[in-house]
Structure 1
Amino acid sequence: MSTKTTIARVGDFAGQAVTLEGWLYNKRSSGKIQFLQVRDGTGFIQCVAVKSEVGEEVFAACDALSQESSLRVTGLVRADDRAPGGYELTVQHVEAIQISHEYPITHKEHGVDFLMEHRHLWLRVPRQRALLRIRAEVERAVADFLDGNGFTRVDPPALTPSSCEDTTELFQTQYFDQEAYLTQSGQMYMEAAAMALGKVYSAGPAFRAEKSKTRRHLIEFWMIEPEMAFVEHEENLKIQEQFVSHIVKHVLNHCENELHTLGRDIQALSRVEAPFPRMSYDEAIDWLQKHDFDIQWGDDFGSPHETALANQFDRPLFIERYPTAIKAFYMQPDPNRPEVVLCADMLAPEGYGEIIGGSQRIHDYALLKQRFEEHKLPEDTYAWYLDLRKYGSVPHSGFGLGLERTIAWICGIEHIREAIAFPRTLYRLYP
């Protein structure tokens, strides 16, 4: 009798017979021996079938298996230091569940468009599996940190009657007899929740109809958005750097094999510890001008600016106190210098750009109402948001972490599209 188990747990059964269920990733043969590389979602293992030991019928069953055929294989677990996971399986029996014919993604180079068209199958290769496993651990680290530090998760709506940041294009839809929009951020709803629960966060998809096709942008992406009552700018930044340090450390501790599969520089990640360096917007502009960038005070930063600034450091960089005119209407002005706001962007090193944007929020009713008028925002649409400043308003702060950008940086991948299972980009909605 054999024990049914997974590849990740075969080490618990060294010297014993086990049954694995999975798919054939690859196969090679020397005539009298077949080497089956099998995957089951938890890992990969080599299964060795010797013709003289398994007999003609089992050997023929192995021979009939094609790439991505599903199968059930029984054999003895054998320790082998040369094997990727430290173990191999000496085959005793093989049962084909379904034979795959003409699997489209072969073990050769394919173009990006072809792979994206077959994204539902591309997920099966070791690199994509590693990325999705790391994504899952990043999400686990997010919840561990926030849940462990007194935050309550609250889920905001995906359909909203208005924009959170009026400068961003929205996806419009019809909500029965009125217009609605796919959310670009749950921030405003999190502010309301923070007034009830103190410290809250949301984790979910957001949508931005920006016609951008850079390696840093997705149309649908996931945001982690904490909001905190009685927290001001300085404390907000400290929480952010502790948060990101925790996420990176968690991935280093739980995803060693996956990072190795991706060829990630572990040493670069191991240096990501709080505190993070900081520059004011003024200092950043001065540095860029001294390094021959054509930029003036009041301009926003583009990718080349962010990359140059962040590449000075071996861990994320805060740029704080941006001009009021280029930031969102709800950000709190610096009381000592109202032409800038109490905000910060966290820029990842190695050219990955902004992974967090955050600020202290305006808590004064009159000032927020003034901002509505300056930005020509309809007060009736935002009446509920103004209410938060009428009934027990307090200083409060929050931030949004872009999940895919964070994963792309941690994994060291070139394009953000691989940081999510089914990316939505400017020209791709399928599959």
Structure 2
Amino acid sequence: MSVMYIDEAAAHAGQEVTIRGWLRSRRDKGKLHFLIVRDGTGDIQAVVSKATVGDAQFARSAELTQESSLVLTGTLRQDARAPGGYELDVLRLDVLQVAESFPIQPKEHGTGFLMEHRHLWLRSSRQHAVLRIRHEIIRACRNFFDDRGFTLVDAPIFTPNACEGTTTLFQTQYFDETAYLTQSGQLYSEATAAAFGKVYCFGPTFRAEKSKTRRHLMEFWMVEPEVAFAQLPDMMDLAEQFLAHIVAAVLKSRRAELLLLERDPAKLERVTAPFPRITYEEAIDILQRKGNPAKPGDDFGADDETILSKEFDRPVIVHRYPAALKAFYMETDPERPDLALCMDVLAPEGYGEIIGGGQRIHSHEKLLGRIREHHLPVEAFQWYLDLRRFGSVPHAGFGMGIERAVAWICGLDHVRETIPFPRMLYRLYP
């Protein structure tokens, strides 16, 4: 016999196999017990017959509770009526542990209770589906850039300075000096792009923003490509190809998980390039026509992004925001110096911004002036200024938050379900 994972059932039909897992549920019918067992790769129905396993093992089977751990040996057979299309006729049952009463039962639980038991909530079929899709999105991100000649060059988590000021950063003591938990790997990616041409970094980022909206986490993961010699139009092209690739990968490999989440695949099938592109000024016009009080010079909040994104059936790229709204490093439009060569990609169905980026200042003098205008410490950015002294070229990039992308693709109401252990304003446990 062979030890088998449940998702390998098709290769073992008719064979005697061993499955190791946990009990999801049990249904009794006379001298038969029907066990739904999960092993992390899938679910399978196992049939325990008193006539086959004997009195002792049948009695042991009757003691099993939700999440009890067990090892089952039996004959695997195809059955279209069974979960997953296969069923195990049990010959032997070994119980590793009869679990205590499981806190999460098949009934309605409050969000606070579920978050307090997040370490156990992860075992539910819904959370399993979400995190399987997250895994697929991450794999698709890496494949997209790897297949296009990008080099993965990770950025540090401890940084001596901030990308956009220190008001929303977590500060920590780094021996005898102050350090911050990174809010973006972008500045370091600019350095590696000057060495490798096309790069991306992928890792955790942190924002000490005291926000409780459904789109915010204190700790999240971000993938950030950076390309030497690229300009804003190049990034808009790259971003739409990137998102279309990710959505196609999920539709191909995780359609069953989308259906379990009751996510309509038809809405995702519309996510193909090219995406609509509108300027910031055109976005203001749309908002005003919709009765929104936005006026030129205003930054967009979640409500504004929701209105804009609902105007389109696929992501929309909003570009050339007022320079005053953007970070110190953002290049300005040579024809309109009051505008930044930047973009935000807004996901449809009201999910808002999932990608932000643009073209970086490549002039040493201009960047130095912007650092001083923003009252940032020049000495902390000296290495960043060096990039403009030794072979500076136009360059551009963007960042995509994994959790917001997962929330959109899965159709979730809140990003707290998109990461195994979310860190929110009032949530640091478990």
TM over 0.5: yes
Answer yes or no: is the 8 Å Cα contact 1:168–1:208 preserved in 2: no
| Distance of 1:351 and 1:56 partners within structure 2 | 58
Q: State the partner residue of 1:343.
A: 342
Q: Are positions 1:97 and 2:93 aligned together?
A: no
**Correspondence for 2:400:** 401
Deviation at 1:31, TM superposition (A): 2.6
Deviation at 1:51, TM superposition (A): 2.1
Match of 1:304 in 2: 303
**Structure 1 residue 169: Cα displacement:** 1.1
Q: Within 1, Cα distance between the matches of 2:391 and 2:343?
A: 26
Shift of 1:230: 0.5
Q: Which whole-Å CA distance do the structure 1 matches of 2:173 and 2:410 have between them? A: 39
Deviates more, 1:246-255 or 1:54-63: 54-63
Residue 125, structure 1, aligned to residue 133, structure 2 = no
Alignment of structure 1 residues 5-24 onto 2, 5 Å: 5-24=4-23
Q: Counterparts in 2 of 1:307-318, with a 5 A limit?
A: 307-318=306-317
Change (3 A) 1:167 1:241: farther
Q: How far apart are residue 319 of structure 1 and its match?
A: 0.5
For residue 40 of structure 1, what is the aligned residue in structure 2? 39
Cα drift, residue 409 of structure 1:
0.5
Distance in 1 (CA, whole Å) between partners of 2:166 and 2:180 is 14
Using the TM superposition, give the Cα deviation of residue 303 of structure 1 relative to its aligned residue in structure 2, in angstroms. Answer: 1.2
Separation in 2, partners of 1:31, 1:426: 51
Give deviations 1:179-207, integer Å, cap 9, x for gaps.
Answer: 11100001000000000000110110000
Matches within 5 A, 1:377-416: 377-416=376-415
- Give the distance between the partners of 2:375 and 2:18, measured in 1 at CA: 66
Alignment of 1:277-296 (within 5 A): 277-296=276-295
Q: Deviations over 1:27-74 (max 9, x none)?
A: 111232111010000000111112233321221121111111110001
Residues 133-178 of structure 1, C-alpha deviations (whole Å, 9 max, x = no match): 1111111101100011010001111001111012751100111111
How far residue 290 of structure 1 moved from its aligned partner, in angstroms, is 1.6
Q: Which residue of 2 aligns with 1:61?
A: 60
Partner of 1:70: 69
Opposite residue 108 of structure 1, the aligned amino acid is K
Partner of 2:164: 165
TM-score (ref. length: structure 1): 0.98
Instruction: Give the match for residue 80 of structure 1.
Output: 79
**Which residue identity is paired with 1:66?**
T
Whether the 8 Å contact between 1:4 and 1:20 is mirrored in structure 2 is yes
Residue 187 (structure 1) aligned with residue 186 (structure 2):
yes
The more displaced of 202-211 and 45-54 is 45-54
Range that drifts further, 11-20 or 386-395: 11-20
SS of match in other structure, 1:430: coil
Distance in 2 (alpha carbons) for counterparts of 1:225 and 1:78: 47
Give distance in 1, aligned partners of 2:162 and 2:30.
Answer: 65
Contact 1:217-1:416 within 8 A present in 2 as well: yes
**Matching residue's letter, 1:134:** I
Residue deviations 1:216-244, cap 9 Å, x none?
Answer: 00000001011100111111110110011
Alignment of 1:257-296 (within 5 A): 257-296=256-295
Question: Which consecutive aligned stretches of 4+ in structure 1 deviate over 3 angstroms post-superposition?
Answer: none
- Specify the alignment match of 2:244 in structure 1: 245
Q: Provide the aligned length of Structure 1 versus Structure 2.
A: 430
In structure 2, the residue corresponding to 1:274 is in which secondary structure? coil
Pick which of 392-401 and 23-32 moved more: 23-32
Aligned counterpart, 2:375: 376
Assess, with a 3 A threshold, how the Cα gap between structure 1 residues 278 and 167 changes in structure 2: closer, same or farther: farther
By how many angstroms is 1:373 displaced? 1.5
Q: Check conservation: 1:151, 1:201, Cα contact below 8 A.
A: yes
CA–CA distance in structure 1, aligned partners of residues 419 and 21 of structure 2 = 23
Question: What is the rounded CA distance, in whole Å, between the counterparts of 2:406 and 2:113 in structure 1?
Answer: 23
Q: Deviations over 1:111-146 (max 9, x none)?
A: 111111111111011111111111111111011000
d(CA) in 1 for partners of 2:346, 2:415: 15
- Distance in 2, Cα, partners of 1:181 & 1:52: 65
Aligned to 1:110: 109
Can you list the C-alpha shifts for 1:238-295, whole angstroms capped at 9, x where unaligned? 0110011000000111112211211111010111011100110000101111221111
Counterpart residue identity of residue 292, structure 1:
G
Which amino acid in structure 1 is aligned with residue 124 of structure 2? V
How far apart in 2 are the matches of 1:400 and 1:115? 30
Distance (whole Å) between structure 1 residues aligned to residue 151 and residue 239 of structure 2? 17
* Cα RMSD (Å): 1.0
Distance in 2 between residues matched to 1:382 and 1:322, nearest whole Å: 25
2:149 is paired with a residue of what secondary structure?
Answer: coil
In the other structure, the counterpart of 1:361 is 360
- The alignment partner of 1:202 has SS state of strand
Matched residue, 1:254: 253
Equivalence for 1:204: 203
Residue type of the alignment partner of 1:179: T
| Aligned position for 2:224 | 225
Q: For 2:260, give the aligned amino acid.
A: T
**2: CA distance between counterparts of 1:292 and 1:258?**
38
CA contact (8 A) 1:154 1:201 kept: yes
State the SS of the aligned residue for 2:83.
coil
CA contact (8 A) 1:160 1:182 kept: yes
* 1:296 alignment partner AA: K
Q: Normalising by structure 2, what TM-score?
A: 0.99
Letter of the 2:364 partner, please give it. Answer: Y
Gap runs ≥5 in structure 1: none
